[in-house]
Each structure stands twice: as structure tokens, then as C-alpha cells.
Amino acid sequence: MPSFQTSGRHGYSVQFSPFFPHRLACASCQYYGIAGGGTLFVLDVAQDGLRPVQVFDFSDGLFDVTWAENNENILVAAGGDGSIQVWDVLQPKGPLKILKEHSKEVNAVNWSQTRNENLVVSSSWDNLIKVWDVSQSQSIRTHVGHSHIVYDVVWSPQLPGTFASASGDRTVRVWDIRGGDSCAVLIQAHSEEILSCDWCKYDKNQLFSGSVDGLIRGWDIRSPRLPFCELRGHEYAIRRVRANPFLGTSLATTSYDFTVRTWDTSQQRMLETIQHHTEFVYGLDFNIHVPGQIADCAWDGVIQVYQPQSCVPP
Amino acid sequence: MADAQTDEKADETQKGSSAKQASQCAPEKSLNASASGDNNALDNLFLRFEAFNFIEDQQFQAGLSKITVRPDLNTGEDLLKIKAFYYTKNVEPFDLRAYMSWSGKQATSSSQDSRASKDLIRTSKSSTAPLHSASLLDSHLPKTVQSDGSSQGDLGLKKEESTVHETAESDATVLIQVEEAENSYNSRRSAVSDQNEELSFADIVELVQSGKPIPGLAQVEVVPTNEAPTPSLIPRTKKPWEE
């Protein structure tokens, strides 16, 4: 199982490249994100582990990263200083751009998943969501509505111009950039802060949320009053929920209980508990090239790449 | 939009009322605190701490948002630690460990504060992690305060510039060569990480709070290059769900 030690850095987010099956990026912070800078790692899975291809330092913590879908060299990272930065793997001198509009830490960045759209959405401690065309110097939209920190934003893999957000105001919201400024769907999803959400890749109406209450819930955005599924098992807050790109009923989650767990949403049951970290587990991503392969990262400074049996499609 | 507004209002009403409850709760509780002498004084201290309106204390909230101990952790003992720091610094001396054992008793006897007991459980569960160990927590908390009255914003916690300077990285030319990247990575890291990796969450909070320099703090000035992206040579591949 390939792994990598982000010495002196605490991992917050990992994402596999949409272009190369062996490449991933990790956004990390020095000193738990309390003080110091951040580092963006670009790593290749090699026979003997994960090897750094590029390592970018930044003046503030980096909390999330997303790969461009229209250029294999480009990444966008979320900064503790309220900026998003555009990085190029082949240009080690520094970010091509620093776009700073958020007034507080940026928690999440995500690049469009639908074809012919190349927008980045960012969410922040300042309660705002911004939509960017990173070839321009300013954001193209700001979405106001959440009354607390917005922890996660994810574009729909099927519905053009549509993304979901998860917030400390205990709601999950769905936004359509072609519509008005307000959200299209509002889900009173949990009784505690919601740290993550993701879309099912095979049912365009399904959305999953993970909360400080330790629960994962599945929602049909056409009837969001009650969840269609609820998954119990984590002992503490759920930090990240990600849906399997090869299997519509498969989820993986990371938690402050130091574990990663895998789930079957149709049977509403936990499949595997993976305990290879010794600290809060933050980042999680599925490889879209290797069925069932996962990368994760944690505050213990370890990035793991592995393939839980329960995530491999039959 | 109608939905969103209603929701926000509901949220605010809730917050307001719970804050009010907290402040009204305190006098009642102190009436009930019947033990005499030290115990009584301690009870009162802890009740004052519990009644303290952290939610509406602007200085506290400003500090909290600054120190990037993200609010998603706030249901646990991390928030309690921060509150204890702040309270000790700005209000009166406060022993967090004694409070935790006190609030644990309260919780079992009256089930009044299930939050506190949750904090305790979590502290003991996480004993493998230096970050959350109760002993560490204790040894890093100031036991006494010198009340100099200085009103330090941001809980007295701020991102502190270190005197230690991480040497800027090589004037790397093009490095797509893995070996090269790895070497430069290793040399850059080893200087910093080796001796500092052991610093726990509590260590860092304490250093920042006391205004001491944090060893090995990364100090890089990053400016955009404004270069054009390297041209793409690979077309977008189909996603598994687009097959």
C-alpha cells in the first residue's frame, strides 16, 4: 500500500488527477492550520510508494485542492488567507495567479464536473460561495444565503451549472448558476454542523451529507424533507463524504474518530472500517481511473493510497 | 430565497434564546450550589465560566475566527481549551482540569451538561494522540494569570511571525524530474520537520498564545508569476459515469 509522509505538514485534502491514473495532489497545513504556511504536494504512485513530482509552498495553510478538467497541469488550491491560487505542475516558481476575494479562510474548491463547463466554485469561513472562471481576474458570481461557515462545495456530475454546499448552519443547499442568486433547494439536513457533501455519480438527484453529529444522510433533491438513507457507525464528526465513481451505491467517509469507513447506501449498512491513521482523517478521494482505489490524508501527516475490497465493483 | 431567509431567522432566534438561557441559568445554579468553602467557591467559578457569554463576546469570537482552530472542531475539547485560555486571560484564573472533573460529576449527577461528559469521553478515548491527551492539556495550560489588564485581541492568539527563517528553496529550474524534486523536497523539509514534528496541538496553541516564537515556522512570500498555463496536450477523458 503506497503511502507518503508529509513531514511537518498536516494533510487536509487529496485529489486524484482526472488525466493521470497515478497522480494525486494533497493540500496541507503547517502546525494543524493554526500557524505557519501550507504546502501543495503533487505525488505519483510508484512501485515503491508515493514520489513527489512537485512541492509548492504557500504563505498560509492550504485546506483544499482541485484539478483542472481542461488542462492536465493546472491545480487550484484553497488558502487560509482567503485566496484561491492557480498552480501549474510544470512551473515550480510559484502560482500563476492568486485570486483573493473571500475575507476569511477558503475551505473548499471544486472544478466543474460536467462537460464544456470549466468553472471553479469556492466556499469560505465568510459564509460565501464564489464561482470563478480562473482565466479571469475576478469571480463571476457570489452566492449569499448560508448563515454560517460553508465547509464544502461540489459540482454536480450530471446537472450543468449546479453545485451543492454543506454548511455550519446545518443545511445543505443546491445552487443553479443559471437561475437566480438564491439556492434552488434547501435541506435541513442535520442537527449539527455539516462538514461535507457529495453527489451520487449515477443518480442525478441523489446527494449525501456528513455531519458533526456523526451521521451520513442521503437526500433526493426532489423531495428533501426526509433523507432516503441514514448511515450510522462513525463515533465522531464526519469530515468528508465521497461517492464512488464506479458504483452508485458505494460511499467512503473520513472522520475525527481516526477512521475511514465504506458504506452501501442501498442496504444502509457499513461495509469496512479502515484504521491506518493515528489522528483526525480529513481528505478523501476516489481515483476515476482505478476502480475502488482511494487516497486519504490525515493530521498524522500520512497520505495513503489503497483499494478497499468493499469499494471495488463486482 | 424565501426559504433561505426563513431559515436564517429561525437560526438566529434559536441562537439568541439559547444564549439567554445560558445567562439566566447561572444565578439559579449558583443558588443550588450548597457546598461550603472552597468547593462552593470552585462551584461558583465554574458556573461563572459556564455562564460566560462566549457566543456574544466579540473579542472571543474575533479571536476564535482568527486562530483557525476551525469551528468544526468546536464540539470537542478544543473549544473548551480555547475558552479556558481566554477566560483565564481576560476574566479570572481558571483550572480547566479541575473544571473538567467537576463538570463530569455534574453531568453524571444531574445529566445537566451532557456536552461536558462528551468532552471527557473524547479526551480519554484519544489518549493515544498527544493532541488530545488530558495530561498534555493540563501541563500546557497556564495555572495562574498575571492580570495585566492588557486587552489582547484575538484571545492573545495570533499568527506569530517566527524569528527562525526557513531558507528559501532552491532557484529550481524546470523540474519534472522526479529525483530532483524529491531531493529538494527532502532537504527543505529535514531542516524544519525533524525537531518540530513532535510539537502537539496543545504545544502550538500555547506557543502562539504566549507570543513565543514557533520554531521552524514557514515564512515564504508567495507572489503570482502571472505566467500563462503550460499548454495542455491531453484531451479530457470520459468519466466512469459517462461511459
Q: What is the ipTM of this complex?
A: 0.90
Please state, in angstroms and rounded to a whole number, the distance separating the CA atoms of residues B117 and B100. Answer: 8
Nearest Cα residue to B145 out of B97, B99, B92, B100 = B92
Dihedral angle sign, alpha carbons of residues A202, A174, A70, A178:
positive
Report yes or no: A98 at the B interface, CB cutoff 8 Å: yes
Nearest Cα residue to A306 out of A281, A280, A274 = A274
Q: What is the pLDDT of residue B139?
A: 25
Report yes or no: A266 at the B interface, CB cutoff 8 Å: no
Q: Which residues of A touch B223 (CB under 8 A)?
A: 94, 98
Is residue B239 classed as helix, strand or coil in its secondary structure?
coil
Yes or no, beta carbons of A71 and B227 under 8 Å apart = no
Yes or no, beta carbons of B160 and A115 under 8 Å apart = no
Measured in angstroms, the CA of B14 and the nearest CA of chain A are apart by 12
Provide the chain A residues 122-181 that lie in CB contact (below 8 A) with chain B. Answer: 125, 145, 147-149, 151, 157-158, 168-171, 173, 180-181
Q: Which residues of B touch A192 (CB under 8 A)?
A: 75
How many CA atoms, within 13 angstroms, populate the side-chain half-sphere of residue A119? 26
Provide the chain B residues 184-243 that lie in CB contact (below 8 A) with chain A. Answer: 184-185, 188-190, 192-193, 196-197, 199, 201, 204-205, 207-208, 214, 216-234, 236-237, 239-242
Report yes or no: B172 at the A interface, CB cutoff 8 Å: yes
The full length of chain A comes to 314
Please state, in angstroms and rounded to a whole number, the distance separating the CA atoms of residues A243 and A226. Answer: 20
Residue B27 has pLDDT above 60, yes or no: no
Please state, in angstroms and rounded to a whole number, the distance separating the CA atoms of residues B105 and B89. Answer: 26
Considering only residues A131 and B12, tell me which one the structure prediction assigns the higher pLDDT.
Answer: A131
Residue B181 has pLDDT above 90, yes or no: no
Q: Going residue by residue through chain A (314 aa), what tens digit of pLDDT does each one get? A: 889 988 788 999 999 999 999 999 999 998 777 777 899 999 999 988 999 999 999 999 999 999 999 999 999 999 999 999 999 999 999 999 999 999 999 999 999 999 889 999 999 999 999 999 999 999 999 999 999 999 999 999 999 999 999 999 999 999 999 987 789 999 999 999 999 999 999 999 999 999 999 999 999 999 999 999 999 999 999 999 999 999 999 999 999 999 999 999 999 999 999 999 998 999 999 999 999 999 999 999 999 999 999 999 99
- Give the total number of structural domains in chain A: 1
Residue B215 has pLDDT above 60, yes or no: yes
Quick: pLDDT tens for B126-169.
222 222 222 222 222 222 222 333 222 223 232 333 322 332 33
pTM (predicted TM-score): 0.68
User: Which residues constitute the domain of residue A215?
Assistant: 3-311
Q: What is the CATH number of the domain that holds A8?
A: 2.130.10.10
Cβ atoms within 10 Å of A126's Cβ, excluding its own = 18
Please state, in angstroms and rounded to a whole number, the distance separating the CA atoms of residues B78 and A256. Answer: 13
* Kind and range of the H or E run holding B180: helix B178-196
Which residue of B67, B68, B118 to mutate against A (max A Cβ within 10 Å)?
A: B68
The full length of chain B comes to 243
